[in-house]
Amino acid sequence: MAEVRALDEGLVAAWDRLALATGAPVFARPGWLRAWAGAFGKASALRALTVHRDGELAGVLPVVTAPLGVHTPVNSETALIAPVLADADAAGELAEHLLARRSVVDLDAVLADDPLTAALRDAAGRGRVPVLETHRCSSPYVATVGDPADFLQRLSRNRRHGLKRLRNRLRDAGEVTFEVCDGGDGVLEERLREGLALEAREWKLAAGSAILSSPARVAFYTAGARWAAEVGVLRLAFLRVDGTAIAFGYCLQQGRTLHFLKLGMDDAHAKLGPGVLLTQHLVEHAFAEPEVAELDLLGENESYKADFATGIREQVRLRAYPTPGVGTVQRAATARVADLRAAAVARLSGPTRERLVALRNRLVR
């Protein structure tokens, strides 16, 4: 049986147990989602669409319900939305329930090949329900199994030479250290302050996209770090020269994956390539950790990430319109608005686009 439920401690505990038992991503755990919801004013709206069998939880999808439909809890700080599934049948049951609600279904920030994404497509096809699927991002990752020397050899010649040149330049600047902090020993707040200061680069502050630009973002990444440290998945990475941090990575490690969420660096040391070198150190760290098989770089496949990446995962936004009589119209209207928006943005000058992004970042706090 599938149903939408408010979160209570019993459900949260069962949800977290199922997430760990099934190897779901850390972003699917209720502790991380509650940190997001509390920071962005969604704590009272966050719900769980659940499937139970014989009294046991078999599937969970975080959702927010609204008069016009149901959607996943997503904003610009969402790395990934993933259901927690005991098996493929649970995905099918969740999909059937979503369509049976007869209102708009909006699954954003989901993997294109996620079992629930596939189940919703299939169920919509069988029921002749209109759907609209759009690309969100191509998220790169680095497989970190095998010999790290083989990985380096797969990099382009230019990238290998560039890394060598930057590392030599960094060594010339002083004593280089790389550290990964799990938030223990009472240093979490200090390390987090240090890291967020590095993430607040001048151009990000100007655009309003830095974590420190928004009290809500600060609240989210602080609460998320505290939860992650408590359950043992927090990893704050620092690259230092003579003890001074010049680059920072906000990471989470669960199961076989090290997730790299946020990068910060000191622009005064930009000529040393601190962001690229921190990424390389994280790759080496992941190779050195026996339980880690992948460094997930998240976000868009930017050029420096693409140089390291061994693969990508496509994230999509999948919307379904099962409302009787008007679903096709709703789908067409949504697609038309998206096309018009894209065309309008394409006509804007670069500075105007930057000003609009800055305004959006300041409004979404």
Phi, psi for 265 (deg, rounded to 5): -155, 160
pLDDT of residue 24: 98
pLDDT of residue 125: 96
Confidence band of 324 (pLDDT split at 50, 70, 90): low
For residue 66, pLDDT beyond 60: yes
Give 326-352 pLDDT, tens digit per residue.
656 567 667 666 666 666 656 666 555
Taking residues 115-119, report their average pLDDT: 98
For residue 114, pLDDT beyond 60: yes
Taking residues 156-175, report their average pLDDT: 95
Q: Which residues contact 75 (CB under 8 A, 6 or more apart)?
A: 40, 364
For residue 117, pLDDT beyond 50: yes
Confidence band of 361 (pLDDT split at 50, 70, 90): very low
Beta strands 131-143 and 294-296: pairing type? antiparallel
For residue 364, pLDDT beyond 50: no
The domains located in the chain, with CATH, are 2-138+314-324 (3.40.630.30), 145-292 (3.40.630.30)
Dihedral angle of Cα 70, 74, 75, 81, to the nearest 10 degrees: -160
Q: Exposed e or buried b for every residue in 47-81, given b needs 16+ CB within 10 A? A: bbbbbbeeeebbbbbbbbeeeebbbbbbeebbbbb
Beta strands 294-296 and 257-265: pairing type? parallel
For residue 211, pLDDT beyond 50: yes
Three-state DSSP class for residue 117: helix
Yes or no: say if 313 and 278 are a contact pair by the CB < 8 Å rule.
no
For residue 160, pLDDT beyond 90: yes
pLDDT of residue 326: 60
Taking residues 151-162, report their average pLDDT: 93
Beta strands 244-254 and 294-296: pairing type? unpaired
- Return the number of other C-beta atoms located less than 10 Å from residue 312's C-beta: 16
For residue 85, pLDDT beyond 90: yes
Phi, psi for 106 (deg, rounded to 5): -130, 100
Taking residues 106-134, report their average pLDDT: 97
Q: Show the tokens assigned to 118.
A: 């596939």
pLDDT of residue 171: 95
Of residues 206 and 296, the one with the higher pLDDT is: 296
- What whole-number distance in Å separates Cα of residue 88 and Cα of residue 177? 45
Taking residues 132-149, report their average pLDDT: 96
Give 242-253 pLDDT, tens digit per residue.
999 999 999 999
Taking residues 261-267, report their average pLDDT: 97
Q: Which residues contact 352 (CB under 8 A, 6 or more apart)?
A: none
pLDDT of residue 172: 96
Lowest mean pLDDT among 57-71, 150-164, 225-239, 351-365: 351-365
Q: Show the tokens assigned to 245.
A: 């941090």
What's the whole-model pTM score? 0.91
For residue 325, pLDDT beyond 90: no
For residue 99, pLDDT beyond 60: yes
pLDDT of residue 346: 63
Confidence band of 73 (pLDDT split at 50, 70, 90): very high
- What whole-number distance in Å separates Cα of residue 92 and Cα of residue 123? 8
Please say whether the dihedral angle defined by the alpha carbons of residues 18, 21, 22 and 28, taken in this order, is positive or negative.
Answer: positive
pLDDT of residue 68: 86
Phi, psi for 19 (deg, rounded to 5): -60, -45
pLDDT of residue 78: 98
Yes or no: say if 335 and 139 are a contact pair by the CB < 8 Å rule.
no
